[in-house]
Structure 1
Amino acid sequence: MRKFSFKNICIPIFAILLLLAMVIPFFYFSGASKSYTTNSCITLDDHWDVDINDTHYSNVTLSDFTFPMTQKGDIIVLSRKLNEAFSGRNPIIKFNSVHVKVDAYLNGHPVYTYGGNEFFHGKLVGYGTQYISLPSSYNSKPFKLILSVTEDDAFNGIEPPELGNGETLLQESISDNRFLLATALFLIVFGLIVAAVTAVLSFRNLVFSRLFCISLFSFLIGCWTLCNNNLIIFFASDLRVKAYLEYISLYAMPLPLLCYFYPEAHHKVRPKYITVIYQCLIVAQTAFFLFALITQLTNVIHLPVHLKVAQLLMFLELIFILALTIDDIRNHRKYDRALQVGVIATLLVVMVELIRYNVEKYIIHFHDSHYSSSVCYSALIIIVALLLDYSSKISHGLYKQAQQQLLENMAFSDELTGLHNRRKCDEIIEKLTAQCDDFILVSMDLNLLKYYNDTYGHEKGDELLRCFAGVLKEAFPNALSCARMGGDEFTVILPAMHETKRNAALLHLYKLMDEQNKKDPSLKLSTALGYVTRSEFGREVDIRMLYQEADERMYQNKKEMKEKQPELFRR
């Protein structure tokens, strides 16, 4: 596993958060100074005649008008005279439709149609805001809307159309929804940037996969918010795109959230049934998403038909995550506190939204275009909570990694020189021997250590040891190990190499010692050495045999040095 810095991970993430957070106040305040008069648009609420199949209603006020839930094949006709005088140019009627084919007539002449081809072929029509252009001479002429319902349980009320200028209506919509729009864009852009980065990093280190789940969840809930609140109209006018994106985002949204909680669900302290339930939810959600997508693409079952099943699965998954959170609280897992608060807050908001949606749709006056969800705000809470939880886990993991590294250093390093100790050297030789790898074992004995300890004190002797250790590391940069075995004894393990290259490496050591002696005459570096190769022995070889042979050759070299440089050993 590659080492990485907690600081290097968190700083870019929170820099992105800070940068994107500037978008929210920008959108919020950019529309605050823009004011619109109450006459900028006219709500066409009264004096409608409504025909639902064979039932006629006269002089209807649409905001107070409800009827049984529409089913596929129902025909609704709305008609009235446009007696309202609009002073602006380019008059437009803004109308919100829900899974219907729309035909508009002015004075008996068609002025607008939508969804005819999809209706004829039985495809998903979509829903959202439609803008019906009128001629400037519309005043006092009869206007008729014919709505052909394409899905079951579509709506049980009709939002009053608005008459106004197209540009003004769009500007008003942006101004009224600027904070919601900014929040959705923040979630999308944040999700895209972080997902792009972590998707690559996850191949190197799986710890980034959890951050990828957070970013994917952020992107999906941002897309759903744009579509659910009819804000996608600012970027794409095709209502089918809106419908596809909204339902696919909604149905896929639980998957990254469930994947994020994989470690928690599989924690060894959890009861076995928790893991089983988690696996069932993952399989069910994945199968449901694929089934909904395939049946839509093959035009067998449209995406809106699966909404009740999606809500049921989502409710079960939220209950499951809540159970994990309660279990964490009960077991006092304090490092999960931020996530616990975020999950509980978001869970409450989502549950309230699910209840509100179904109550408004099936019990009281409800029209899908009226439903504006605030889930995206709670998504900000849980995304921040997930990021804090992720940072906490990374910090905790790095702390444990640092502890492990410290313990390893203490167990396998020589405190004075920073080189490996005998235990680590033995471990490396045993591993190489077990793998039948060839290598060179160099045994060294540092001369004059006793002289420096006795004459100048152990501080000077320690300085001599550290100086020699530095020269060893510089002389053998590709060594498998440079170790201090104890006292004045050192060992170097080199990979197998040709005799010429090996001799050059040893001569390089002597050259570096000479350079160091000239640089600091107060320290005299000198060593006797002997080496042995693993291949000199047969298959049956152990550590003792290698050490013994290398030491014998080292002592032989020391004997030769005493004969050639007797004055060196008289100190």
Structure 2
Amino acid sequence: MDRYKKIIIITGIIGAVLICWGFLYSQADRYGLDVPGTRQIFPEKVWRGENRTITYEFGFDFSRDAGRCLHFVSDRQTVKVYQNGGLIHSLDNGTTAVGRVPGKFFHFVKLSQAESQVLVEIQYHYYHDENVSPVFWLGDRQQMFKERLIHALPAAVIYFLTFVIGVMVLLFWGIVRRELKNSRESFYFSALLIVVGLWFIRGSELVNLLASNHIALSYAGYLLFLQIPILCFCFSIYYWDMKIKLWWENLYFFLCLLNMAVSVGLHVNGIREFKETVFTTHLLLLAAFGTMFAGMFFYFRKHGADYKVKATFFPTMIILVSTAWDFWGFYHNTLDTYRAGGLASLLFVGCVSWSVIYDLSIQLKEGQENAIYKRLAVTDLLTGLYNRNAYERWEQSCQGMLGEIGLAVCDLNNLKYYNDTFGHEVGDRYIVDAAGLIQEACGREGTCYRIGGDEFLVVWERKPDSFPYAMEQCLKKLDLMQQDYNRNSEYICMQIACGYAAAEPGDTRVGDMIKRADGMMYCHKKQLKGFAENSQRN
């Protein structure tokens, strides 16, 4: 079993454990409190007023009741609480462009220790909200708040995991994107996970318990939700490698951008709240799901039921059902559907993450193999320098742009002698060691090529200032390195003949410079042979 399959299996086990954990927690009464001394209370009277206002009346006698805090939850409603006719708590509309209707709010209202009448006046801003009455609790504020945090933590962990997976995939994409054939798939998947994760985190009970500005928090959720359809659409296209018509893709992008602009504009100008315009976003999201299923269908027809289809089909069906359930809960103000949507999203994220990571591993492996083949195509296997193929590519790319180029040609003396006398193994050692000296002496700013059996070329695309002087210094350094090498070599007496040239006004191709450099190199070769003959005579 390779390491990629191990990663997928481990990720699946962790995801399954977390999903089961979150599911078990979701079975309990979401707004129930199991705290000693805390009890659910029911209003003695309920009556409806003007402007969708409902008032709940309670009577308390704290001489017989130790509870001193009234607790309930509101969502997109303004609230006023009166005790014995005096206002003791309120949650009002906002007055800025960020928002006016309050978001979700956990109320903990401290009550006086006295016999009293308490009125809770709730103004509902949307029609469907009136059909859902809040649940009221009476008890110790600290204990109830602590219990809320404990109940909220598991779901928050699940939502945060979605965000973390998105960040990890994005980091992975940033590292390996150049080696991927389809890098957009992982980019849009990571962006989708990050946005969806933030959306769920924003709506979690934990964040709502701890946040101070619930109006801004509520509308941050709407702004995040506006991004989800277009990210889901883009991910579906690249995940299933769909070849859709450009006009359909552009039309969907235009509708999403238009929806964002219109929704924000209407909200900021106080014409329509986000909830009143979110219906179009829901339609766009359903269109994105339709694209997902269409892509899956055509992919299945082409490739059969491979790992992508198997990992995605059932989670996509579940996320579609949970999304429809969440839509129903949204329009009927049934907040319990939010957690079901979060669990379904985590299941979808887990399964599709396995598929995406496995797909990325395959692409990465193919990309690495292709990179190796590309390197082999331009690399001399014996010396590790660039080969003649790489030189010819460079030569073609710089025709007509020779102004800043300088080059040096190098040739090894007596290579045939070492091959014939000591064998090709010693001859190869001569070539490899000479290549190392040439690269060390000249190749820090230049690029070294082996263009023949014993022929090397060093190119400076931007030649150094005072090029002749710089080249003489390189040749002196190379000569000293050869002398040091020859003192320690048992068989090989290294002789590297060199010549150099820079671009001149009349040059039209690189060959013109090489011809002048070859002339200088052959003169140097004769000199080296003359030195060798004199040393043998002496």
Do the structures match in fold with TM over 0.5? Answer: yes
1:281 counterpart residue number:
252
Query: Structure 1 residue 217 and structure 2 residue 229: aligned?
Result: no
Q: CA deviation at 1:193?
A: 8.2
| 1:92 maps to which of 66, 69, 78 | 69
How many percent of aligned residue pairs carry the same amino acid? Answer: 19
1:163 matched to which residue of 2? 138
2:222 paired residue number: 247
CA–CA distance in 2 between the matches of 1:349 and 1:333? 21
Does structure 1 residue 560 correspond to structure 2 residue 535? no
- Matching of residue 470 in structure 1 with residue 436 in structure 2: yes
Compared CA separation, residues 345 and 40, structure 1 to 2 (3 A): farther
Change (3 A) 1:414 1:92: same
Structure 1: which 5+ residue stretches go unaligned?
1-6, 55-72
Distance 1:450 1:515, change over 3 A: same
**What does residue 404 of structure 1 align with?**
370
Q: Which of 405, 427, 433 is residue 461 of structure 1 equivalent to?
A: 427
CA distance in 2, matches of 1:86, 1:520: 105
Name the CA distance, whole Å, in 2 between partners of 1:385 and 1:146.
46
CA distance in 2, matches of 1:229, 1:408: 50
Once the two structures are TM-superposed, the CA of residue 189 in structure 1 deviates from its matched residue by: 5.8
Q: How far apart are the structure 2 equivalents of 1:369 and 1:317?
A: 24
Structure 2: which 5+ residue stretches go unaligned? Answer: none
CA 1:170–1:185 in 2, change beyond 3 Å: closer, same or farther?
farther
Corresponding letter in the other structure for 2:48: I
- Which residue is equivalent to 2:150? 175
Distance 2:185 2:230 in 1: 12
> Which residue of structure 2 lines up, in the alignment, with residue 52 of structure 1?
48
Report the counterpart of residue 68 of structure 1 in structure 2: none
Structure 2 equivalent of residue 428 of structure 1: 394
Does the alignment pair 1:417 with 2:383? yes
Instruction: Give 3-state SS (helix, strand or coil) of 1:368's partner.
Output: coil
- The structure-2 alpha-carbon separation of the partners of 1:298 and 1:395, relative to structure 1 and needing over 3 Å to count, comes to same
- The size of the alignment, in residue pairs, is 515
> Counterpart of 2:450?
484
Matched, 1:76 2:42: no
Please tell me the root mean square deviation across aligned C-alpha atoms, in Å.
4.2
Give the Cα separation in 1 of the matches to 2:480 and 2:304. 59
**Counterpart of 2:37?**
40
Q: Distance in 1 between matches of 2:93 and 2:370?
A: 68
Give the equivalent residue in structure 1 for 2:272: 301
Task: State the alpha-carbon separation in 2 of the partners of residues 85 and 176 from structure 1.
Answer: 31
Amino acid at match of 1:501: A
Q: Relative to 1, partners in 2 of residues 1:248 and 1:353: Cα closer, same or farther, differing over 3 Å?
A: same
Letter in 1 for 2:274: L
TM-score by length of 1: 0.76
Q: Distance in 2 between matches of 1:202 and 1:462?
A: 37
Q: Find the aligned partners of 1:349 and 1:528 in 2 and give their Cα distance.
A: 74
SS of alignment partner, residue 177 of structure 1: helix
Q: Is the 8 A contact 1:97 1:369 kept in 2?
A: no
Report Cα offsets for 1:93-139 as digits up to 9, x if no partner: 222224333222334443333216769xx93233433222221224x
Residue of structure 1 in register with 2:110 after alignment:
133
- Residue 79 of structure 2 contacts residue 92 of structure 2 at CA under 8 Å; is this kept in 1? yes
CA contact (8 A) 1:184 1:225 kept: yes
One-letter code of the match for 2:151? D
Q: Distance in 1 between matches of 2:390 and 2:176?
A: 32
From 484, 506, 526, give the equivalent of 1:515.
484
Q: 1:198 to 1:276 in 2, by over 3 A?
A: farther
> Residue 337 of structure 1 is aligned with which of 270, 291, 307?
307
CA distance in 1, matches of 2:501, 2:195: 64
SS in 1 for 2:451: strand
Closer/same/farther in 2, CA of residues 396 and 541 from structure 1, 3 Å limit: same
1:529 aligns with 2:504: no
Secondary structure of 1:158's partner?
A: coil
* 8 Å Cα contact 1:98/1:368 also seen in 2: no
Measure, in 2, the Cα distance between the counterparts of 1:237 and 1:53: 29
Change in CA separation of 1:433 and 1:510 when aligned onto 2, cut-off 3 Å: farther
Q: Is the 8 A contact 2:41 2:138 kept in 1?
A: yes
**In structure 2, distance between residues paired with 1:427 and 1:199:** 31
TM-score normalised by the chain length of structure 2: 0.81
1:441–1:533 Cα contact (<8 Å) kept: yes
Q: SS where residue 331 of structure 1 aligns? A: helix
Do the aligned partners of residues 209 and 404 (structure 1) sit closer, same or farther apart at CA in structure 2, a change above 3 Å counting?
closer
Aligned pair in 2 of structure 1 residues 217, 464: CA closer, same or farther (>3 Å)?
Answer: same
**SS of residue matched to 2:494:** coil
Query: Would the alpha carbon gap of residues 510 and 384 (structure 1) be closer, same or farther in structure 2, given more than 3 Å must change?
Result: farther
Compared CA separation, residues 456 and 304, structure 1 to 2 (3 A): same
2-side partners of 1:480 and 1:333: how far apart? 52
Residue in structure 1 matched with residue 92 of structure 2 by the alignment: 115
Aligned partners of 1:159 and 1:369 also within 8 Å: no
Deviations 1:484-529 (A, max 9, x none): 3333233333453422111111111111111111122322101233
Which runs of 4 or more aligned residues in structure 1 lie more than 6 Å from their structure 2 counterparts after TM superposition?
Answer: 83-86, 192-195, 197-210
CA offsets 1:9-64 (integer angstroms, 9 cap, x no match)? xx9xx99xx9xx99x989x99xx9xx98565322124x64332349xxxxxxxxxx
Cα deviation, residue 305, structure 1: 0.7
How does 1:232-243 map onto structure 2 within 5 Å?
Answer: 232-243=207-218
Cα gap change, 1:342 to 1:164, in 2 (>3 Å):
farther
Shift of 1:322: 2.4
* In 2, Cα distance between equivalents of 1:193 and 1:321: 23
* Alpha-carbon separation, structure 2, partners of 1:40 and 1:192: 43
- Residues 380, 387 of structure 2: 8 Å contact kept: yes
Structure 1 distance, partners of 2:404, 2:336, is: 77
Q: Report the secondary structure of 1:143's partner residue.
A: strand
> 2 CA distance for matches of 1:118 and 1:461?
86
Q: How far does residue 87 in structure 1 lie from its aligned partner after superposition?
A: 4.4
Matched residues in 1 for 2:174 and 2:326: separation? 39
Take 2:151 and 2:64, find their aligned partners in 1: how far apart are those partners? 22
Alignment map for 1:236-385 (pairs within 5 Å): 236-261=211-236, 263-264=238-239, 267=241, 270-273=242-245, 275-332=246-303, 337=307, 340=309, 343-357=312-326, 359=328, 367-385=333-351
Aligned residues of 1:128 and 1:369 also touching (Cα < 8 A): no
For residues 434 and 385 of structure 1, what CA distance do their matches in structure 2 show? Answer: 55
Q: What is the CA–CA distance in structure 2 between the aligned matches of 1:297 and 1:386, rounded to whole Å?
A: 37
Residue by residue, what CA displacement relative to the aligned partner does 1:424-478 show, whole Å, maximum 9, x if unpaired?
A: 2233234333213343343333112122122211111111111111111111123
Task: Provide Cα deviations, 1:302-336, integer angstroms capped at 9, x if missing partner.
Answer: 111123222222111112122223333332288x8
The 1-side partners of 2:174 and 2:388 are apart by 40
State the alpha-carbon separation in 1 of the partners of residues 407 and 279 from structure 2.
Answer: 72
| Counterpart Cα distance in 2 of 1:135 and 1:212 | 56
Residue 239 of structure 1: how far off its partner (Å): 3.3
- Which residue does 1:60 correspond to in 2? none
**Against the structure 1 CA distance between its residues 356 and 507, is the aligned structure 2 distance closer, same or farther, given a 3 Å change threshold?**
same
CA distance in 2, matches of 1:387, 1:376: 16
In structure 2, give the amino acid aligned to 1:100: Q
* CA-to-aligned-CA distance 1:210-243 (integer Å, 9 cap, x gap): 6665454344333433454533232214432342
Distance in 1 (alpha carbons) for counterparts of 2:55 and 2:472: 99
2:81 pairs with one of 85, 104, 107: 104
